[in-house]
Structure formats: C-alpha cells, structure tokens
Amino acid sequence: MTTVQAEGLSLRFGRTTALEGVSFALDDGVTGLLGPNGAGKTTLLRILATAIPADAGQLRILGADPRGAAGRLAVRRRLGYLPQNPGFHQHFTAFEFVDYIAILKEIVDGRHDEVRRVLHAVGLDDHRGKKIKALSGGMRQRVGLAATLLDDPALVILDEPTVGLDPEQRLRFRELIAHIGEGRTVLLSTHQTEDVSTVCQRVIVMNQGRIRFEGEPSALAAVAMGRVWTSRARADGALAAWRTGNGDYHNIGDPPPDARLVDPSIEDGYLMLIDAASLAGAA
C-alpha cells in the first residue's frame, strides 16, 4: 500500500497561496523535500502530520483520510513528526523530554522501556540523564528524533532536522535517517542538496507552492545535463556562476559553443528548476 497519496492539495493563508495543486505519492524509503524559503515545505509537512487541513484536494495517509476525526487519530497513532522548532523544555533531561512525549502519545505498557529503546536507537544511551540545555545542537536534534520514533511509526516526517548542525553532526544525523528509512516511509525537508544525494532514494522539489520535480536524485541532476560548464573567467549570460576552489568558474545556463561541459550535480539540477530570480540570488 502506498503510504501517502496526495491529489491536488491546495492551501491559502489570506492572500498568500502556500500550496497549489500539489500531487505526489510516498512509499518506503527516504524522500527529500527541497525548496527555497517560502516554497511551501513546512505547510505541506504540517498537512501530512494532520496539524492543519488543506483547503482542497484528496489525501490518504496509511489508508486513512485525515479529514475525519477517526482518520486523523488513525494517522497520528502511526506517525512520527519532528517539527522545525520542537519546543524542547530546556530543564528536562533527554529522558524526561522523550518520556513526556510518550505520555502525550498515550503509551502505557512498558513506557520507560520504549523511551530507553528510542534513545538507544539515536545513540543517546550515555546522555539520557543530561538536561536538554546542556546538549549540543546535534544531540538535541537526536532527542527530537528519538521522540518521533516512539511506538515505531510507519511514517516519519522531519522538517529541516539538519539545520545548524556542524558537518560531523550532519553526517551522523544522516546515518540515522538512512537507518530509519529502512522499512518505513521518511519525508525529509531540507535546504541541503547533500542530504538528498547521501540518504534519499527519491526527491520532490517545490517552489512557490507547487511541485516542480518528483523522481530519483540522479534524474534531478540530469535536469541540468548539457547546461553546466566550467570556464577560466565568469561567463556572460550564465544564469548562475560561482568561483570554485581551483579558481575556475562553475556556470549554469545556456553554454557557449566551445564550453567545457561537466556532469551536473543534484544542486545544479535543483538550481535549474527554480526560477530565474532564485538563480540570480544563488550566483
């Protein structure tokens, strides 16, 4: 069974169209959700997490329709959601925070064992007695991730969990996400194309409330095939160009006839997909 099936989801906040006709399907494995600021990623995740309803469209999550109270409850029982700002209680220990979420989730039998299990799963055995305020950003994110894993959810929704982490913490966090994606459905919102290339089997790109791409990461890179080249000097007419470590310029756009074409990356494909204004901003 497809975990998530969305058809034509739309949502407006006053005059702002946050989502417009969004359709996609999610299955087991990790799917990355990429898009610039304001693309509609968080709004979409909140709808999938049943925190807010869409104005229009059809949605089935784990076979249930979240428009009705019974459907919402069925989804929530099998869902793990890590919002952008999980609202950690700074004076709680890691154990107390996850236990608090376990209480809210109405886990009754073996609750403390379950809290220990998820803290172990994210590598926090040695830190569970530490106060949240004393943990590093990466460890704090792991506490949040532990809470999303309570009761072994079938669908895990993570909103920009790698923001603010240093490279090593990001690497460790990616390893955890890859592991979590084995045998369940994970939707990972991110600004980092590297998150997508390292752990995602599929990727969705959003911009201005619409889906611009859905497919495998390699297919996202292929969007820029024949449109990426290097040059000694900044190329005229490139949509985006930046100087690389060896002093050459990396250019995206319509190449001149004698251009030294290079294989595009996922980032190149992503930049090709979003609009010219965003490309100018990225240059």
Ligand X SMILES: Nc1ncnc2c1ncn2[C@@H]1O[C@H](COP(=O)(O)OP(=O)(O)OP(=O)(O)O)[C@@H](O)[C@H]1O
- List interacting residues with ligand X (CB under 6 A): 13, 16, 18, 35, 37-43
Nearer CB in complex with ligand X: 37/244: 37
Nearest of 40, 71, 45, 68 to residue 148 by alpha carbon: 45
Burial of 219 by CB count in 10 Å (0-12 exposed, 13-18 middle, 19+ buried)?
Answer: middle
CA 72/CA 58 separation, integer angstroms: 14
Nearer CB in complex with ligand X: 18/30: 18
Q: Pull the structure tokens for residue 214.
A: 């859905």
What is the widest separation between alpha-carbon atoms in the chain?
69
Distance of closest approach, residue 210 Cβ to ligand X, in angstroms: 11
Q: Which amino acid would we find at residue 174?
A: R
CA 269/CA 281 separation, integer angstroms: 16
Distance of closest approach, residue 181 Cβ to ligand X, in angstroms: 21
Nearer CB in complex with ligand X: 95/213: 213
Distance of closest approach, residue 41 Cβ to ligand X, in angstroms: 3
Nearer CB in complex with ligand X: 17/230: 17
Distance of closest approach, residue 233 Cβ to ligand X, in angstroms: 34
Distance of closest approach, residue 273 Cβ to ligand X, in angstroms: 14
Distance of closest approach, residue 60 Cβ to ligand X, in angstroms: 21
Distance of closest approach, residue 118 Cβ to ligand X, in angstroms: 26
Nearer CB in complex with ligand X: 54/135: 54
Nearer CB in complex with ligand X: 12/234: 12
Contact 175, 99 (CB under 8 A): no
CA 191/CA 194 separation, integer angstroms: 9
Nearer CB in complex with ligand X: 28/214: 214
Q: Collapse the DSSP code of 48 into the 3-class scheme (helix H, G, I; strand E, B; otherwise coil) and give the result.
A: helix
CA 93/CA 128 separation, integer angstroms: 7
Nearest of 44, 52, 51 to residue 21 by alpha carbon: 44
Q: Collapse the DSSP code of 22 into the 3-class scheme (helix H, G, I; strand E, B; otherwise coil) and give the result.
A: strand
Say how far residue 156 (Cα) sits from the centre of its chain.
10
CA 280/CA 259 separation, integer angstroms: 21
Q: Collapse the DSSP code of 229 into the 3-class scheme (helix H, G, I; strand E, B; otherwise coil) and give the result.
A: strand
